Each structure stands twice: as structure tokens, then as C-alpha cells.
Amino acid sequence: MTLRVAIVMGSSSDEPTMRIASETLLGLGIESETRVLSAHRTPHALREWVETLEPRGIRVVICGAGGAAHLAGAVAALTILPVIGVPLVAPNAIGGGIDALLSTVQMPRGVPVATVALGEPGAANAGILAAQMLAIEDAELAGRLRTMREGMAATVREAVASRPGAPRPAPEGPPKVRVR
Ligand code: AIR
């Protein structure tokens, strides 16, 4: 099977968070490859790896880094594959991770990085977003994503319904009142 998603992180200390991206992908039936490479500590190895991605059939790259989080930007500079950036909370993070968030999101015009939320929710969303990109040309995967969304909505409905004295939740569906 050709791997379609590659995940790279700046340090092995990012692994517990970035594992959520690969686990989310696996839950949707997508295997991925994972590397630890740093834009600052191993720039040459990073470039060499990025240059292999397109020829090997990789379609989306997920990059997670904390602090001066230039990894996603450095990867995006080297490929036209879509790059998803996950800002992470480094041990010495400033402002709870705002350093990594701004380093990842503030790319110059012309070299985009699709930046997701900070930390674990971002890692999960990176996996889902990569799957959504692949689902443009994969109807089975699109079906699994729809099922996942329905499962989320059901979980919310059940949580609301199980609260003591909770009113009956409105059924899912189009709004009955026209929204202007
Ligand atoms: N990092 C590694 N190279 C460049 C950057 N920005 C990040 C890692 C990690 C943080 O620095 O992605 O989130 C701390 O890494 P370490 O190895 O010191 O634990």
C-alpha cells in the first residue's frame, strides 16, 4: 500500500502529542509514516526527506513543532504538497504556546501552511484535515469521515440527554426557522 500522509515533528519530546495525529488517521483507515527532524537541528536531513515525499506518493504532510516552530514553514518552502502545521507547547513555551502558534501560522504570502489548533486538539484535527484532503478523491474515506461526524453529533446529543432534568434535545436537521 502506498503511504499518502507523512508526519514530521521537531523533537522526540513532541511524540506523545503528535501520536494523536497518526492514531486519528489510523482510525480512519489511513497509515502514515512518522519522522523526527528539526528545521534547526537537522536542516539538511529535513530537506533530503522532503525531497523524497512527492516521488513516493505522499499527498499531505503534517508538521508539529514547539517554540520557534519553523518546521512546517521550512517543509512548505521545499514542496508544493499541502502542509498542515500543528503548533505545540514546548517545555519553555511562552504564553502557553503562542510562540509556536505565531511561528507556524504567520507564513509569508505565497507559501501557505494550514495551521490547526495548539497541542492535542490540533494534532487530532491535523489527522482529520489530512483525511478530508484525501477524501476529495476517495469516496470510501469520505463515507468514513461522514460517519465520524455523525458519531460526534450523537455523542453530544447523548451527553445533553443524560443530564438530570435535561430538556429533550432538538433532532438534527435543517433549521425550521429561516435564518436571515
Ligand atoms: N524544535 C526543535 N527544533 C526546532 C524546534 N522549534 C522544538 C521541538 C520541541 C521543542 O523545540 O519541536 O517542541 C523542544 O524540543 P526538545 O528536543 O528540546 O525537547
The answer as to whether 23 is a domain residue is yes
Kind plus residue range of the DSSP H or E element containing 21: helix 15-27
Q: What is the pTM of this model?
A: 0.92
The answer as to whether 161 is a domain residue is no
The answer as to whether 64 is a domain residue is yes
Domain housing 118: 5-139
The answer as to whether 67 is a domain residue is yes
Neighbouring residues of 174: CB distance < 8 A, sequence distance ≥ 6: none
Give the nearest ligand 1 atom to 88 CA. Answer: 13
Q: What average pLDDT does range 140-150 have in this prediction? A: 98
> What is residue 1's predicted lDDT score, i.e. its pLDDT?
67
Residue 154 Cα distances to 29, 44, 71, 161, angstroms: 21, 47, 37, 10
The CATH number of residue 134's host domain is 3.40.50.1970
Residue 10 CA to ligand 1 centre (angstroms) = 5
Residue 84 clears pLDDT 60, i.e. is over it: yes
Q: How far apart are CA 49 and CA 23, in angstroms?
A: 22
Query: 116-131, pLDDT tens digit by residue?
Result: 999 999 999 999 999 9
Q: How far apart are CA 180 and CA 176, in angstroms?
A: 12
Nearest to 138 by CA among 20, 27, 29, 26: 29
For the chain, what is the domain count?
A: 1
Q: What average pLDDT does range 40-53 have in this prediction? A: 98
Q: How far apart are CA 25 and CA 122, in angstroms?
A: 13
Kind plus residue range of the DSSP H or E element containing 154: helix 139-161
> What is residue 82's predicted lDDT score, i.e. its pLDDT?
98
Grid coordinates of 169: 434535545
Residue 119 CA to ligand 1 centre (angstroms) = 13
Please report which confidence band the pLDDT of residue 71 belongs to, taking 50, 70 and 90 as the band edges: very high
The answer as to whether 154 is a domain residue is no
Residue 4 clears pLDDT 90, i.e. is over it: yes
The answer as to whether 60 is a domain residue is yes
Task: Look at 82-86, 169-173, 176-180 and tell me which has the smallest mean pLDDT.
Answer: 176-180
CA atoms within 13 A on the CB side of 7: 28
Residue 124 CA to ligand 1 centre (angstroms) = 20
Mean residue pLDDT of the chain comes to 94
> What is residue 174's predicted lDDT score, i.e. its pLDDT?
54
> What is residue 179's predicted lDDT score, i.e. its pLDDT?
47
The answer as to whether 164 is a domain residue is no
- Ligand 1 proximity of 41 Cβ (cutoff 6 Å): yes
The answer as to whether 177 is a domain residue is no
